[in-house]
Amino acid sequence: IGMRLPGPGECGLVSPEIVGLGLIGFSTNCLMVVFNTIGIEKKDTDKIPGGWGLAHLALGAMMILVGVSAYMANPLVADVVSGWVGIALVFYGFFWVFFGASLVRGADLRPVGQISIAYAIVDLWFIRESLALKLYSLTLLLVILTIVFLVLYAAVHGRPSLFKANAVLLIILALLGFYIGFSFVAPGGYTPF
């Protein structure tokens, strides 16, 4: 059952295509995390190359810019997708910036794990709001993301074998994010379910 998204003229300054680009950036970042953690469970988790952090910083900054633009278009209208998704993109963009900065500096990733618990808790609010807006595809994405945050905490706190499980969840999350993001970008702008 598809839901029609607001068209380019109905969404203020930002069209659903811009929101879709933010989701595509989010999905790209998920894949970047998979690529820089593959095999890390067999190595020292503190030795992830710092260069990977630059990609997270760039994509996180892009998500923040797109999210602020989307939110500023319709900040207080609850039934318009762009304002709500804008808040989410800014929120998750800051996580990617923090994660990227930690990688660039070669810092211990345990603080990233602790921040991920806070993100998992706030995800519950986003899940509730996505259900209220009847955006079930985004609800599914957010449920998986909440699990990813919880698994990340355990993985950086002495259970590096969980990086494999997290990688699988991130691949699923990225594919779902691309699917939803491209549905926003597609002509007509329909969410798949």
DSSP labels for 38-80?
Answer: TTGGGS-GGG--THHHHHHHHHHHHHHHHHHHHHHHSSS-TT-
pLDDT given at position 53: 79
Contact by Cβ (8 Å): 122, 90: no
Residue 190 belongs to what H/E stretch? strand 190-191
Q: What angle do CA 41, 112, 168 make, to 5 degrees?
A: 45
Backbone angles phi, psi at 21, to 5 degrees: -65, -35
Beta carbons within 8 Å of 156's beta carbon, 6+ residues apart:
45, 109, 110, 112, 113
Beta carbons within 8 Å of 161's beta carbon, 6+ residues apart:
41, 155
Residue 116's identity, in one-letter code, is S
pLDDT given at position 40: 53
pLDDT given at position 111: 92
* Parts of the chain with a pLDDT under 70: 1-16, 37-52, 73-83, 189-193
3-state secondary structure of 21: helix
Whole-prediction pTM: 0.79
What whole-number distance in Å separates Cα of residue 95 and Cα of residue 82?
Answer: 20
Q: What is the pLDDT of residues 144-164, one digit of tens each?
A: 999 999 999 998 888 888 888
pLDDT given at position 72: 74
pLDDT given at position 6: 47
**Residue with structure tokens 């892009």?**
62
Residue 111's identity, in one-letter code, is P
pLDDT given at position 85: 73
Helix, strand, coil abundance in the chain, percent, nearest 5: 75, 0, 25
